[in-house]
Amino acid sequence: MSNQPPGPEFWNRVSALINLSNDQCDTAVSNEVAASTMYASARFSAFIVAQSTGNADNMRAEKEHALDYFTDQFRKMLAENIDDFAQNFDKYMAPAQQP
């Protein structure tokens, strides 16, 4: 991600992916949904590395840099979201209100 705050398109994509994962939790174990979501993110990230490096040799040469970048970004995002959930636990984890 860049140093600029993400725009609405970013948050729309985030919401779409979270909604898909939430929907899958209706028929699957949430840990399995999380694992498949992480795998999909890893697979897409590998595609981005392939696309940006142009060939297999360059991709191999950039592997450690890519691993460092993506794992660092994931760690920061996860830490931020854990802090957010801890701060808003009762609000986020409250049972859905029935109309």
User: pTM of the full predicted structure?
Assistant: 0.84
State pLDDT tens for residues 2-19.
578 999 999 999 999 999
Judge whether residue 97 has pLDDT over 70.
no
In CATH terms, is domain 14-93 a member of 1.10.287.3020?
yes
Residue at token pair 């590395």: 49
Query: What are the boundaries of each domain within the chain?
Result: 14-93
39 CB-contact burial (10 Å; exposed 0-12 / middle 13-18 / buried 19+): exposed
CA dist., res. 14 & res. 93, Å (int): 19
State pLDDT tens for residues 19-52.
999 999 999 999 999 999 999 999 999 999 999 9
